[in-house]
Amino acid sequence: MGRPKRADQAGGIYHALNRGNARATVFHKPEDYDAFERILAEGMQRYPCRILAYQLMPNHWHFVLQPTDNGGMSNFLRWVSLTHTMRLHAHYQTSGEGHIYQGRFKSFPVQNNNHFLLVCRYAERNALRAGLVKRAEDWKWGSLSRWLDHVERQPQLLSSWPIPRLPNWTERVNEPLSHQALSAIRNCIARGRPLGDSEWVESIVGNLGLESTLRPHGRPKKES
């Protein structure tokens, strides 16, 4: 079975996720996170892609991205992942010891409305949900912490949002997501299914050829 079609259109908004191979740790110390953020800045110089929100976790990362060219998200994250892998192996002298990442990243399109805000909340509260910090903004390696900085942190990574944040955004990020919202996002991650209003999802699926993301898992049952 071939790989499912990936949506990656200029101007679209996407959530992207990748994990360490066998869920192994990718970032071992603070300097590893800092080095990865420098790689992100280099990647944006090569393959312009707007970072709207992100969170780096010990064994995975989340991004909410808006490519400026067709295929821009794939080009950007492919270069970032390959460069990170090479530099991490070189730093820890582990070349030849296997893959850093589990495979290619997973992604899904997101509608530019309250669904976009939901996905940003999901990404920005990841460390809090994992129990790594007491407040979401306390996790240094993510967009919420950067956004709250009074002095812009270097390297510059974040782009302005296509719609305004809701009032009291930090408090909203610290509030748990509903079980329904978490289930919807996790289903989109697993299937590459677009996240949005039903009419928008239907339109995106048809326009981008993502019909397989809506089909049930497994083979259809045979008629008796």
pLDDT tens for residues 115-127? 999 999 999 999 9
For residue 69, pLDDT over 50 is answered with yes
| Residue among 79, 72, 61 nearest 8 (CA) | 72
- pTM for the structure as a whole: 0.92
For residue 220, pLDDT over 80 is answered with no
Sorted by where each begins, the domain ranges of the chain are 14-207
CATH of domain 14-207: 3.30.70.1290
DSSP 12-27: --EEEEEEBGGG--S-
The pLDDT of residue 1 is: 43
Separation CA 23–CA 58 (nearest Å): 9
Tokens 């998200």, residue located = 73
H-assigned helices in the chain: 30-46, 72-92, 114-124, 126-129, 143-148, 169-174, 179-191, 198-208
Percent of the chain with pLDDT over 70: 94
DSSP 11: T
Q: What would the two tokens of residue 40 be?
A: 């992100």
Mean pLDDT of the chain: 92
Separation CA 211–CA 204 (nearest Å): 9
For residue 218, pLDDT over 60 is answered with no
Q: Which residues contact 7 (CB under 8 A, 6 or more apart)?
A: 14, 107, 108, 109, 192, 194, 204, 208, 210
pLDDT tens for residues 16-32? 999 999 889 999 999 99
CA distances from 201 to 16, 91, 109 (A): 18, 43, 9
The pLDDT of residue 223 is: 45
Residue 94 pLDDT class (50, 70, 90 cuts): confident
Residue 36 pLDDT class (50, 70, 90 cuts): very high
DSSP-assigned beta bridge partners for residue 60: 19, 57
Separation CA 143–CA 9 (nearest Å): 23
Q: What average pLDDT does the segment 128-154 reach? A: 95
The pLDDT of residue 99 is: 85
CA distances from 10 to 79, 131, 222 (A): 18, 35, 40
